[in-house]
Amino acid sequence: MNKIGLIIRREYLTRIRKKSFIIMSMLGPLIFAAYILIPMYFATLEDKEEKLMVVIDDSGLFTGRGPEGPVFTISGTETLKFQVVEGVPIETFKESFEESGYYGLLFIPSNILSSNSSLIYSTNQVSLEISEYLKRSMESEIEDLKLASHEIENIEKILLEVETSINVRNIKWTKDGKTQETNTGVVMAIGYLGGMLIFFFIFFFGSQVMRGVIEEKVSRIIEVIVSSVKPFQLMMGKILGVGLVGLTQFLIWMILSAVLVTGLKAAFFPELNQSPTEQVVASDLFMQGGTAQEPAMQTPENISIEDMDMAQEIFASLKSIPAGMILISFLFFFIFGYLLYAAMFAVIGSAVDNETDTQQLIFPVILPLILGLYVMISAISNPDNSLAFWFSIIPFTSPVVMMVRIPFGVPWWQLALSASLLVLTFLAMTWVAAKVYRTGILMYGKKNSYKEIWKWLRYSS
Distances (CA, A) of 409 to 95, 163, 406: 62, 36, 5
CB 329 within 8 A of CB 402: yes
Over the chain, what is the mean pLDDT? 78
Over 70: is that where the pLDDT of 320 sits?
Answer: no
Q: What is the pLDDT of residues 80-130, one digit of tens each?
A: 889 898 888 888 888 788 778 888 999 998 888 888 889 999 888 888 888
Instruction: Report whether 388 contacts 375 (CB < 8 A).
Output: yes
Separation of alpha carbons 324 and 304, rounded Å: 33
Return d(Cα 121, Cα 106) in angstroms, integer.
6
pLDDT confidence bin for 79, thresholds 50/70/90: confident
The model's pLDDT over 226-278, given as tens digits with 9 standing for 90+, comes to 677 777 787 888 888 888 888 888 788 878 877 776 776 666 555 555 544 44
Report the greatest alpha carbon distance in the chain.
Answer: 97
Tens of pLDDT, residues 389-439: 999 999 999 999 998 888 888 888 999 999 999 999 988 888 888 888 777
Which is higher by pLDDT, 171 or 3? 3
CA distance 204 to 23: 16
pLDDT (tens digit, 9 = 90+) per residue, 22-75? 888 888 777 767 766 676 666 666 667 888 899 999 888 888 877 777 888 888
- Give the separation between CA 461 and CA 459, rounded to whole angstroms: 5
**pTM beyond 0.95:** no
**Higher per-residue pLDDT: 163 or 177:** 163
**Amino acid at position 163, single letter:** E
- Angstrom CA distances, 383 to 327, 379, 441, 459, stand at 19, 4, 42, 44
The 10s digit of each residue's pLDDT in 337-348 is 999 998 888 888
pLDDT score for 182 = 63
Sign of CA dihedral 212, 218, 219, 223: positive
Whether the per-residue pLDDT at 336 is higher than 60: the answer is yes
Task: Express each pLDDT in 276-291 by its tens digit.
Answer: 444 444 545 444 544 4
Q: Pick the residue with more confidence: 304 or 14?
A: 14
Q: List every span in the chain annotated with CATH 3.40.190.10.
A: 51-149
Residue-wise pLDDT for 193-209, tens only, equals: 888 888 888 888 888 88
pLDDT in the model for residue 221: 75
pLDDT band at 377; cut points 50, 70, 90: confident
Is the pLDDT score of 440 beyond 50? Answer: yes
Q: What angle do CA 28, 199, 383 make, to 5 degrees?
A: 115
State the CATH architecture for 51-149.
3-Layer(aba) Sandwich (3.40)
Distance from C-alpha of 8 to C-alpha of 239, rounded to nearest angstrom: 8
Contact 209, 201 (CB under 8 A): no
**Which phi and psi (to 5°) does residue 121 adopt?**
-105, 140
Residue (of 41, 390, 375) closest to 192 by Cα position:
375
Give the pLDDT confidence score for residue 270 in this predicted structure: 58
Q: What is the C-alpha separation between 282 and 251, in angstroms, rounded?
A: 37
pLDDT of residue 416: 93
pLDDT of residue 337: 92
> Percent of the chain beyond pLDDT 90?
10
